[in-house]
A and B are shown apart, each in its own frame.
Chain A
Amino acid sequence: AQSVTQLDSHVSVSEGTPVLLRCNYSSSYSPSLFWYVQHPNKGLQLLLKYTSAATLVKGINGFEAEFKKSETSFHLTKPSAHMSDAAEYFCVVTKGTGGFKTIFGAGTRLFVKA
């Protein structure tokens, strides 16, 4: 069985400060891991993905995530938050290809203060 836990339901940062959104996963095999972002009243956009290549994954808009097997974590980071980063972020774990099993985390709402 596989699962994903986003450790914070809300994160608040000031503009220009670092962002850390935490995600832990559970999987009995090598999973594929993703981060998606959802802006208010919008669909989901892929930020980045890990599929057993490099453990440090760079995504769009300056985000990156590091796959740490020993800690079963896939935390999302960004060095400097921008107001436009305010959104809901979802960590996702999936098994195999073709969409056989996809589990979304509960989401982390990121607030960015001016």
Chain B
Amino acid sequence: DTAVSQTPKYLVTQMGNDKSIKCEQNLGHDTMYWYKQDSKKFLKIMFSYNNKELIINETVPNRFSPKSPDKAHLNLHINSLELGDSAVYFCASSPLDSGNTQYFGPGTRLTVL
């Protein structure tokens, strides 16, 4: 069974569009995250949600907004997509008592044309 899943796996869209990436975890974890991995493989944490509260909000554009309908889901909504948003986006989750071991989804490759 998939622990952390993301949809879609690939997303190709035009500049200016609005898109969402969905993430679900069936591990019962308390915290979920979104990361961006650029073309040089550098990973940067974007957001973290704990019990439906945003606890980390890195300096990302406000065009990016995480939405958590419940503890098992953390979706990423992106408005007015730009070329520089092209990257692989990873969702992850972790329990509170694991020393912050994070479990990652398979990633969503976003291409903005």
**Do A and B actually bind?**
yes
Q: How far is the CB of B98 from chain A (nearest CB, A)?
A: 7
Q: Which residue from chain A places its CB closest to the CB of B33 in the assembled complex? A: A99
Q: If the complex has contacts A43-B106, A45-B104, A90-B43, are A99 and B97 also in contact, measured as CB distance less than 8 A?
A: no
C-alpha gap A30/B94 in the complex (Å): 19
Docked complex Cα distance between A44 and B4 (Å): 11
Instruction: Let me know if A97 and B55 touch, CB within 8 A.
Output: no
- Whether B104 and A43, one on each chain, are in contact in the complex, defined by CB atoms closer than 8 angstroms, is yes
- Contact size range, A: 20 to 34
Known: A98-B30, A98-B55, A99-B102. 18 other contacts (CB 8 A): A32-B99, A42-B106, A44-B90, A44-B104, A49-B99, A51-B99, A88-B41, A96-B100, A97-B97, A99-B31, A99-B55, A99-B56, A99-B94, A100-B55, A101-B56, A102-B100, A104-B44, A104-B45
Chain B contributes a number of interface residues (CB within 8 A of A) equal to: 29
A residues at B contact (CB < 8 Å): 32, 34, 36, 38, 42-46, 49, 51, 88, 90, 94, 96-102, 104, 106-107, 109
